[in-house]
């Protein structure tokens, strides 16, 4: 690798400089030398081990999602009626948000907090506990729409791609022996190249100014993290793979109009992933654009996206709520499975799994990202209530404060997230 000395006694490298190793070509991060408080409640002991984050791109109609009564014993609102058998297994929150800007462009705030496309909560958890399973994190979607959307973002702000087809996720969970051999070859090849790149990179670090050296150190840390993940995958490649009697249907729904069909299958597979401890961190993105649904043989008045811009038309709201209730019916089946499946100690999968249901869109009709409909199920929390937050108060808690509680329950040692710096542990006592 060629360098030139500059007047500061350091070295400069060209804009197109890369680290090169056998089979690898890795670009460097941006470097200067390249031309061009509130009291916090005590953190609870970790009692959950899995996190499932479910986000609806078009949000949830607030008036049909939020109960009219506060506390326990509330009457289920229309959207949540399909969850009647699980009312004591979840908590509904109103009044929480990230104090984020409005508009669809800020939807990614759902798991990222006040800053779109920042280090998302699920990936913070994955980086802490995800290594304990085969897949540190899994990103899924149903109802593919137009454009590029992401729900999960790495520490570097990179949006993680989502698996669209249930059959692809199924194959990842229960790969064949030939698939396993190919995976081992790919991992070992990647590890060899990464080792060589890191040797070259360490030599480079000595040849740049201190400020660039610090940037490179952060960059190398992330690469070392990748290396550790590879080593873990290689060490487990010959471990017995989980098996299942579950069979996918002959059809493999992926088109937007088969959103519900894909949703049901994804929930089935997520339950299997948790049962086999294949992954402890999963996100599930419910997309929505022009899908046109029919219920009881009657088509709705407009597509999913059109109904979300209802303009307070009662009939359009009715049709929108029918779609959102159908989503909750799918979720109810997922909760059924997690409650029924038990560990040897008698603990259900729902007891050890936190399920976050929410959105980055508070009111799609107005593109408002305030007062985000939010629900938390499972995880060993004391559930069964509607907790209403008065967001008009200067010291009102944020949605990020709830996320701090969820992360702490999962064993992540933190007292801050985005613009939030306290937890809501007391609300679950």
pLDDT at 343: 84
pLDDT at 108: 87
Quote the crossing angle between the two packed helices 210-236 and 177-205, to the nearest 10°.
160
For residue 77, the SS3 value is coil
> Quick one: pLDDT band at residue 338, thresholds 50, 70, 90?
very high
Residues of the chain above pLDDT 90, percent: 45
Mind listing the pLDDT tens digit for each residue in 60-77?
999 999 999 999 999 999
Query: What whole-number distance in Å separates Cα of residue 290 and Cα of residue 366?
Result: 18
Please report, for residues 181, 235, 244, 386, the alpha-carbon distance to residue 178 in angstroms, rounded to integers and kept in the order given: 5, 17, 18, 50
pLDDT at 24: 46
pLDDT at 215 over 50: yes
If you average pLDDT over residues 277-298, what whole number do you get? 83
pLDDT at 379: 96
pLDDT at 225 over 50: yes
pLDDT at 419 over 60: yes
What is the dihedral sign for C-alpha 11, 15, 21, 24? positive
- Cβ proximity of 10 and 207 under 8 Å: yes
Mind listing the pLDDT tens digit for each residue in 173-186?
876 656 666 656 65
If you average pLDDT over residues 53-58, what whole number do you get? 94
If you average pLDDT over residues 77-86, what whole number do you get? 98
Residues of the chain with CATH 3.40.720: 49-174+246-428
The token pair at 125 is 């958890």
Instruction: Give 138: exposed, middle or buried? Use CB within 10 Å, 0-12, 13-18, 19+.
Output: buried
The token pair at 17 is 């400089």
The token pair at 89 is 């297994």
If you average pLDDT over residues 17-29, what whole number do you get? 50
- Cβ proximity of 156 and 118 under 8 Å: no
Mind listing the pLDDT tens digit for each residue in 183-195?
566 556 665 555 6
Domain 49-174+246-428 has CATH 3.40.1760: no
Q: Is 59 left (phi over 0), alpha (psi -120 to 50) or beta?
A: left
Residues of the chain above pLDDT 70, percent: 74
- Cβ proximity of 197 and 24 under 8 Å: yes
What is the dihedral sign for C-alpha 317, 398, 109, 152? negative
Mind listing the pLDDT tens digit for each residue in 365-396?
787 888 999 999 999 999 999 999 998 898 89
pTM exceeds 0.95, yes or no: no
pLDDT at 345: 83
CB atoms within 10 A of CB 207: 16
CB atoms within 10 A of CB 256: 20
pLDDT at 8: 31
What does the radius of gyration of the chain's CA atoms come to, in whole angstroms?
Answer: 23
At residue 315, what are phi and psi to the nearest 5 degrees?
A: -70, -40
pLDDT at 14 over 60: no
The distance from CA 323 to its chain's CA centroid, rounded to whole angstroms, is 22
Range with top average pLDDT, 21-30, 289-298, 328-337: 328-337
Give long-range contacts, CB 8 A cutoff, 24+ apart: 389-393. Answer: 389/93, 389/94, 389/95, 389/96, 390/95, 391/95, 391/96, 391/97
């Amino acid at each position: 690798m060629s360098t030139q000395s500059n007047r500061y006694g350091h070295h400069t490298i060209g804009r197109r400089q890369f680290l090169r190793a056998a089979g690898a070509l890795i670009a460097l991060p941006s470097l200067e030398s390249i031309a061009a408080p509130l009291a916090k409640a005590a953190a609870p002991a970790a009692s959950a081990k899995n996190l499932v984050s479910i986000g609806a791109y078009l949000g949830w109609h607030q008036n049909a999602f939020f109960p009219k009564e506060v506390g326990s014993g509330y009457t289920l609102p229309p959207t949540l009626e399909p969850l009647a058998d699980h009312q004591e297994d979840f908590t509904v929150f109103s009044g929480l948000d990230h104090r984020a800007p409005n508009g669809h462009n800020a939807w990614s705030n759902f798991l990222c907090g006040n800053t779109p496309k920042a280090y998302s909560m699920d990936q913070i958890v994955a980086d802490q506990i995800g290594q304990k399973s085969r897949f540190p994190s899994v990103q899924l979607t149903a109802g593919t729409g137009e454009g590029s959307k992401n729900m999960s973002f790495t520490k570097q702000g990179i949006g993680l791609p989502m698996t669209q087809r249930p059959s692809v996720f199924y194959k990842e969970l229960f790969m064949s022996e030939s698939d396993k051999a190919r995976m081992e070859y790919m991992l070992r090849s990647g590890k060899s190249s990464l080792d060589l790149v890191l040797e070259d990179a360490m030599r480079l670090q000595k040849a740049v100014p201190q400020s660039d050296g610090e940037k490179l150190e952060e960059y190398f840390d992330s690469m070392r993290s990748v290396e550790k993940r590879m080593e873990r995958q290689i060490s487990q490649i010959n471990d017995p793979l989980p098996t299942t009697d579950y069979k996918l249907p002959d059809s493999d729904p992926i088109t937007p109009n088969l959103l519900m069909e894909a949703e049901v299958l994804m929930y089935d597979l997520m339950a299997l992933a948790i049962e086999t401890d294949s992954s402890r961190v999963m996100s599930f993105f419910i997309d929505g654009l022009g899908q046109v649904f029919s219920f009881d043989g009657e088509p709705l008045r407009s597509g999913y996206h059109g109904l979300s811009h209802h303009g307070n038309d009662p009939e359009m709201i009715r049709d929108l709520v029918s779609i959102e209730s159908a989503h909750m019916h799918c979720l109810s089946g997922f909760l059924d499975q997690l409650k029924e499946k038990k560990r040897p100690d008698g603990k259900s999968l729902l007891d050890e799994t936190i399920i976050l249901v929410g959105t980055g869109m508070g009111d799609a009709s107005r593109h408002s990202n305030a007062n985000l409909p939010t629900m938390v199920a499972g995880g060993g929390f004391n559930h069964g209530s509607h907790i209403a937050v008065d967001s008009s108060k200067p010291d009102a808690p944020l949605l990020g404060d709830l996320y701090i509680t969820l992360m702490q329950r999962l064993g992540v040692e933190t007292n801050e997230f985005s613009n939030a710096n306290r937890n809501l542990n007391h609300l679950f006592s």
